[in-house]
Amino acid sequence: MKVRTGDAVADRYLQGTRFTGRETATMTNEEMTALARKCQYKPDLARSLVALGRVKRTLGQVLPASELLMEGLELFRALGHKLGIADALEGLGAVSADEGDGLQAAMLFSTAHALREGMGAPLPPVDRAAYDSVLAACRAQLGETAFAEAWAHAAARPFQEVVEEVLKLRQD
């Protein structure tokens, strides 16, 4: 039986574990994250944190998802891993959209998009439907003009500035 969450990364993780229940897959990913913490290999830990954050978001666990994604973002920033930063920002953008903060979501998605574009690393096609769905919700919430302004403003900023701003929120 295949499990679909609407988040392609979460779906790939759930299928890869060969489990049919989201809770079981979450527990397994929590174990992988704990192992990555124990081994202290930061790239694997950052990837595990972001993947677990995305899975938690699909389960409606917005606060734990946000905390995991922020921790993953912090590690990816320290590693200078731009693709990981983009992935974490996209996850945080989806969380912001879930919380009804379309302005924050637009900023995060725009920054991630600009990062991906600068690296020549477009969003994987498997992630496109969920991504487009969240962006459509943001556009509906903000209106097309406000969304376009927020997107353009964020795209013009250095990604490091946006990341620092987001991480500062974690400390407050």
Give pLDDT tens digits for 81-107.
Answer: 999 999 999 999 999 999 999 999 999
Range with the poorest average pLDDT among 105-109, 113-117, 126-130, 131-135 = 126-130
Domain boundaries defined on the chain: 8-171
Q: What is the pLDDT of residue 11?
A: 55
Q: What is the DSSP string of the chain?
A: -----S-HHHHHHHHHTT-S-HHHHHHHHHHHHHHHHHHT-HHHHHHHHHHHHHHHHHTT-HHHHHHHHHHHHHHHHHHT-HHHHHHHHHHHHHHHHHTT-HHHHHHHHHHHHHHHHHHT-PPPGGGHHHHHHHHHHHHHHH-HHHHHHHHHHHHHS-HHHHHHHHHHHHH-
CA distance 25 to 117: 32
Does domain 8-171 correspond to CATH entry 1.25.40.10? yes
Range with the poorest average pLDDT among 10-14, 16-20, 21-25, 166-170 = 16-20
Range with the poorest average pLDDT among 83-87, 126-130, 133-137 = 126-130
Q: What's this model's pTM, rounded to 2 decimal places? A: 0.83
